[in-house]
Amino acid sequence: MSGGEFSATDLNLAQRRDWLRLIRSENVGPATFRLLINRYGSAASALAALPHIALRGGGKAPTIPVLEDIERELEALYRYGGRLVAVGESDYPPLMRHIHGPPPLLAVMGAGATLTREAVGIVGARNASAAGMTLTKRLAADIGEAGFAIVSGLARGIDAAAHSASLKTGTIAVLAGGLDNIYPEDNRPLAEDILANSGVLITEMPFGYEPRGRDFPRRNRLISGIARGVVVVEAAKRSGSLITARFALEQNREVFAVPGSPMDPRAEGVNALIRDGATLTRDAIDVIEQLRTQRPETLLEDTGGDEPDYTDFAATAEASEDDRTRLAEMLSVTPVSVDDLIVQSGLAAGLVQTILLELEIAGRVRRSSGQLVYLSG
Q: Using N-to-C axis directions, what is the helix angle for 321-330 and 338-345, rounded to 10°? A: 120
Alpha-carbon distance 59 to 83, whole Å? 34
User: What's the whole-number mean pLDDT along residues 37-48?
Assistant: 95
pLDDT in tens, 184-218: 999 999 999 999 999 999 999 999 999 999 999 99
Q: Does residue 350 have a pLDDT over 60?
A: yes
pLDDT in tens, 93-148: 999 999 989 999 999 999 889 999 999 999 999 999 999 999 999 999 999 999 99
For strands 200-203 and 229-233, give the pairing. Answer: unpaired
Alpha-carbon distance 293 to 301, whole Å? 17
Q: Does residue 319 have a pLDDT over 90?
A: no
- What is the pTM assigned to this prediction? 0.91
Alpha-carbon distance 155 to 77, whole Å? 23
Amino acid at 130: A
Instruction: Work out the pLDDT band at 315, boundaries 50, 70, 90.
Output: very low
Alpha-carbon distance 340 to 347, whole Å? 11
